[in-house]
């Protein structure tokens, strides 16, 4: 059973999430807190698989909390909760260890899907957030930072990276591009090596920050 904790300073919102998750046989809410500093005490006390983290806590930002969790509790996977659908905030959360980003108007089924996906080692973004990310990737190449050495990607690598950002699974990528699962995994490993990241969340962050995908590839 997945052990879930919630950090949000709005008690009614937390009550609502708990009510939703209470009916799930594979998910258990083990703890809740209402400010950033309490998160670390909570994680020391309870075994937690996934933390639902508000990015606007009263004492510490969700970005700072996520960074410290990533450093001190690396086994805890963070899903950011926010009312803000802004690429810069999404990118900062990913940079600081978050594995998912969902909006607070997310429905019941998407919340469950996000928890299950992140617990399984994948990333997850609300549909609107995914659209924001893809819109950011479609910006002109000139928006790249000139001092960043951008690795050269093949067209196939760009295709696979775009599908990863769109949250396609390995089998779905293989089917869409008419290639084997092993080939997809090889390209994924090469991308992780080229972009000097550790996981899928790192690939998404790099795609955003370095503007690695052309609009023609996204479409």
Rounded to whole angstroms, the Cα distance separating 96 from 205 reads 10
Q: Would you say residue 7 has pLDDT above 60?
A: yes
| Mean pLDDT of the 27-41 span | 96
Among 121, 93, 122, 124, which Cα is nearest to 109's?
A: 124
**CATH superfamily placement of domain 2-134:** Response regulator (3.40.50.2300)
pLDDT, residue 140, reads: 47
Of 50-54, 140-144, 211-215, which gets the smallest average pLDDT? 140-144
User: Which CATH number describes the domain made up of 140-218?
Assistant: 1.10.10.10
What's the pLDDT score for residue 145?
46
- Measured distance CA(156)–CA(154) in Å, rounded: 5
pTM over cut 0.85:
no
Q: State residue 147's pLDDT score.
A: 41
CA–CA distance, 189 with 208 (Å, rounded to integer): 18
Query: How far lies 73's CA from each of 47, 111, 138, 187, in Å?
Result: 10, 23, 35, 30
pLDDT of residue 176: 94
Burial class (CB in 10 A: 0-12, 13-18, 19+), 219: exposed
* pLDDT at 82 (0 to 100): 93
CA atoms of 113 and 119, how far apart (whole Å): 10
Q: Residue 7 pairs with which residues in a beta bridge?
A: 33, 53
At residue 51, the 3 state secondary structure works out as strand
SS3 54: strand
Could you read off the pLDDT of 84-104 as tens digits, one per residue?
Answer: 898 888 989 998 999 999 999
pLDDT of 157-200, one tens digit each? 999 999 998 889 899 999 999 999 999 999 999 898 888 888 88
CA dist 196 to 69, 124, 141, Å?
21, 21, 21
**CB of 51 within 8 A of CB of 5?**
yes
- pLDDT tens string 56-76: 998 889 999 999 999 999 999
Domain boundaries, the chain: 2-134, 140-218
Return the closest-CA partner of residue 110 out of 125, 122, 131: 125
Beta bridge partners of 80: 53, 101
């Amino acid at each position: 059973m997945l052990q879930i904790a919630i950090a949000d300073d709005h008690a009614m919102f937390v009550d609502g999430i708990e009510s939703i998750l209470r009916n799930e046989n594979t998910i258990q809410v083990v703890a809740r807190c209402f400010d950033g500093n309490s998160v670390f005490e909570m994680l020391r006390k309870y075994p937690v698989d996934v933390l639902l983290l508000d990015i606007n806590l009263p004492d510490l930002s969700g970005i700072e909390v996520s960074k410290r969790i990533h450093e001190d509790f690396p086994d805890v996977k963070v899903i950011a909760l926010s009312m803000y659908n802004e690429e810069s905030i999404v990118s900062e959360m990913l940079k600081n260890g978050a594995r998912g980003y969902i909006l607070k108007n997310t429905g019941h089924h998407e919340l469950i899907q996000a928890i299950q996906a992140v617990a399984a080692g994948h990333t997850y973004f609300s549909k609107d957030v995914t659209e924001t990310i893809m819109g950011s990737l479609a910006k002109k190449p000139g928006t790249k930072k000139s001092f960043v050495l951008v690795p050269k990607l093949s067209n196939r690598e760009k295709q696979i990276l775009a599908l990863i950002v769109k949250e396609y699974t390995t089998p779905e990528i293989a089917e869409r591009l008419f290639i084997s699962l092993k080939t997809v995994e090889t390209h994924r490993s090469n991308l992780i090596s080229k972009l000097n990241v550790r996981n899928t969340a790192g690939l998404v962050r790099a795609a955003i920050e370095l503007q690695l995908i052309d609009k023609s590839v996204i479409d």
